[in-house]
């Protein structure tokens, strides 16, 4: 199954710059691992509000329980608000059948 995941990350007040930088480095490494495992398919950067980071991702998982495990494995998860939408291919999708 594929899932469109809207992730808004807000760093808690008082978090040190060092902690933020370390968490972002670990998030980047984990994202690469998830991509290699076939869970993270795409990432987009939509407009952000003041003081937040926002990312929209396309994830693949066997179901919502596995997706939850995947998302919880991400280092920034504790600072995220997440909205999940299950998606499936549309019969008129112009990308179907293209490499």
Write the CATH number for 78: 3.30.70.1060
* Domain assignment present for 57: no
Higher-confidence residue: 91 or 18? 18
Neighbouring residues of 70: CB distance < 8 A, sequence distance ≥ 6: 34, 39, 59, 61
Tell me: pLDDT of 97 over 70.
Answer: no
Q: Are 3 and 67 in contact (CB under 8 A)?
A: yes
Q: Is residue 92 part of a domain?
A: no
The boundaries of the domain holding residue 27 are 2-50+63-87
- Average pLDDT (24-49) is 95
Strands 40-44 and 80-87: unpaired
Q: What is the mean pLDDT of residues 48-57?
A: 87
Structural domain count of the chain: 1
In a domain, 69, yes or no: yes
93 within a domain of the structure (yes/no): no
Q: Could you tell me if residue 31 is inside a domain?
A: yes
| Residue 71 placed within a domain | yes
- pLDDT band, residue 61 (cuts 50/70/90): very high
Confirm whether 72 is domain-assigned.
yes
Extract the tokens encoding 14. Answer: 């008082």
Task: Specify if 99 maps to a domain.
Answer: no
| Selection from 55, 26, 53 nearest residue 43 by Cα | 55
Whole-structure pTM value: 0.88
Q: Could you tell me which residues come within 8 angstroms of residue 52 by beta carbon, excluding any fewer than 6 positions away?
A: 8, 9, 10
């Amino acid at each position: 199954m594929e899932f469109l995941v809207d992730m808004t990350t807000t760093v808690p007040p008082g978090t040190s710059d060092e902690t933020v930088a370390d968490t972002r480095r670990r998030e980047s490494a984990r994202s690469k691992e998830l991509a290699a495992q076939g869970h993270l398919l795409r990432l987009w950067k939509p407009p952000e509000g003041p003081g937040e980071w926002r990312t929209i991702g396309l994830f693949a998982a066997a179901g919502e329980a596995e997706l939850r495990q995947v998302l919880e494995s991400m280092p920034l998860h504790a600072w995220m608000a997440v909205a999940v939408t299950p998606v499936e291919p549309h019969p008129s999708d112009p990308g179907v059948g293209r490499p």
